[in-house]
Amino acid sequence: MSEPQLEVLSLDDCLALLRGQSVGRVAVLVNEFPVVLPVNYALAVTDGPVWVAFRTRPGNVIDRASMPAAFEIDGVDISAQQGWSVLVRGTLQHVNPDSALWQRFDPRPWIDDERDAWLAIEPFSITGRLLRSPQPRWAFHLGGYA
């Protein structure tokens, strides 16, 4: 492989990466402009869809945001010039304490300062990409002397 390769990740790979992380970025619209904020999250699996769930303070920017939302996680290896990302696009929902979804997750915030607004993104799309860098050439490889 002499050129970087961009690969599309399968849904199963995307879900595995989402399960393996706990911090991502949520993107919402506030007053018609995008806002991107870091959150810690949990992946909530139900009988139907998979949800990305997180907690925030009642009345803050995310809690007041409009319903369209996106969520992103990634991993980057700068020295190898490679990495991956997973993008979840969907609808932001307030989670009712009486719902079954509430019982399936507890995205424990790192800062527990009354983060009592429980939110979840119901995805309509989960996609991911993996960028693989070309293999380095060894000094004793003929191509290293070209």
pLDDT per residue over 67-77, tens digit each? 899 999 999 98
- On average, the pLDDT of the chain sits at 82
Calculate the dihedral angle through the C-alpha atoms of 43, 20, 113, 37, rounding to the nearest 10 degrees.
-80
- Per-residue b or e along 19-54, where b marks 16 or more CB atoms closer than 10 Å to that residue's CB: eeeeebebbbeeeeeeeeeebbbbbbeeeeebbbbb
What's the domain count of the chain?
A: 1
Q: What is the predicted pLDDT for the residue at 21? A: 92
Q: What's 109's domain CATH number?
A: 2.30.110.10
Number of H helices, E strands in the chain: 3, 8
Q: 134 lies in which domain range?
A: 5-145
Count the alpha carbons within 13 Å of 52 in the hemisphere toward its beta carbon.
34
- pTM reported for the whole predicted model: 0.80
pLDDT in tens, 33-56: 999 999 989 888 777 778 898 888
